[in-house]
């Protein structure tokens, strides 16, 4: 543990809660709109016949709103835990990563994972890094944002990234995604260009992919934290073992998930997936250096929807 450090986790969490929560409100307008749509239904006065006759689109929207409300609840619970820790002067001098994973379906899917030796070492490493004075991204309440937003039982597709963006305000715990108001990274802009070519989607002015995550697209980085302006600084510290366990669990316990693997790093994860049960789509990475070498024209978004529809599942609405 890093308890000998003069700067502990308690010191780092003494910023006002309003300041912390401000970082996670970039999708507030979208969330408020969806929740308002959900709450406008006449829950008490609905005729059962009307419920039965709901169209697939209506059912999909209702499920989306329920998932969105649940992800918002998870985010609030996670932020409240950190606020309470600070208010009570607790923490024990180390990061309890398991306390930041709120989504019950993932806790059930990964029993005992945090009790393993590597996870304990990972906790100690992250605590030491946070106490070291160099900013660590994403913020604590967003470290498990991918899992807290996309429930295990909702997964339809997985997009694997490498590690979080390492600039201030960029990382939000979802691979390739940045909060609204932050400049869209070049890789994500190329993803948008392919979406436009593939499905005719208009290119958004923001980079927040939460809408995909709520629909069941797990936006998973292989490494979940990073040091300020130091790409891959938290690689080979235990995160890869944890996220590999996630991929293996999906492969073992689910069927028909579409794994979207862009670039050599993500494609190496294919070894963890049972290809007799799942679908794997591969292409070059969408970065500026490689997008023209096979990413553009891959049509992974339309292919994903075609696969889902063949399995009788609602397609992803990729338009943001």
Which residues are marked as active site?
Answer: 163
Q: Please give the C-alpha separations between residue 50 and each of 36, 46, 57, 58, 62, in angstroms, as whole numbers.
A: 20, 7, 14, 11, 14
DSSP annotation of 16: -
CB 295 within 8 A of CB 276: no
Alpha carbons 63 and 61: distance in angstroms, whole number: 5
Using DSSP, state whether 70 is helix, strand or coil.
Answer: helix
- Which is it for the CA torsion 231, 19, 68, 320, positive or negative? negative
Q: Is the peptide bond before 138 cis (omega within 30 degrees of 0)?
A: yes
Helix orientation angle between 239-253 and 117-130, rounded to the nearest 10 degrees: 130
How many beta carbons lie within 10 A of that of residue 8, not counting itself? Answer: 18
Query: 3-state class of 262 per DSSP?
Result: strand
User: 279-283 and 157-161: which strand pairing?
Assistant: unpaired
């Amino acid at each position: 543990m890093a308890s000998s450090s003069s700067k502990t986790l308690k010191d780092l969490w003494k910023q006002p809660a309003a300041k912390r929560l401000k970082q996670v409100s970039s999708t507030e307008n979208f969330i408020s709109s969806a929740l308002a749509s959900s709450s406008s239904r006449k829950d008490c006065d609905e005729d059962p016949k009307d419920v039965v006759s709901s169209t697939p689109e209506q059912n999909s929207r209702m499920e989306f709103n329920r998932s969105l409300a649940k992800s918002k609840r998870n985010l609030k619970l996670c932020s409240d835990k950190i606020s309470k820790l600070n208010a009570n002067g607790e923490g024990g001098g180390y990061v309890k990563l398991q306390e930041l994973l709120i989504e019950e379906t993932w806790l059930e899917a990964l029993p005992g994972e945090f009790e393993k030796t590597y996870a304990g070492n990972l906790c100690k490493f992250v605590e030491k890094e946070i106490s070291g004075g160099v900013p660590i991204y994403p913020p604590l309440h967003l470290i498990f944002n991918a899992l807290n937003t996309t429930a295990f039982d909702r997964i339809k597709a997985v997009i694997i990234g490498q590690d979080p963006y390492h600039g201030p305000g960029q990382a939000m715990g979802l691979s390739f995604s940045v909060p609204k108001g932050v400049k869209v990274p070049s890789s994500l802009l190329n993803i948008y260009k392919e979406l436009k070519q593939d499905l005719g989607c208009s290119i958004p002015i923001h980079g927040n992919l939460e809408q995909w995550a709520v629909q069941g697209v797990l936006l998973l980085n292989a490494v979940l934290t990073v040091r300020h302006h130091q790409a891959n600084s938290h690689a080979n510290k235990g995160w890869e073992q944890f996220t590999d366990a996630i991929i293996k669990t999906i492969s073992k316990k689910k069927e028909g998930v579409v794994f979207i693997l862009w670039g050599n790093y993500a494609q190496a994860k294919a070894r963890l997936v049972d290809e007799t049960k799942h679908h794997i789509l591969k292409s070059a990475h969408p970065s500026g250096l490689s997008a023209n070498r096979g990413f553009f024209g891959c049509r992974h978004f339309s292919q994903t929807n075609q696969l889902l529809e063949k399995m009788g599942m609602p397609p992803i609405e990729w338009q943001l």
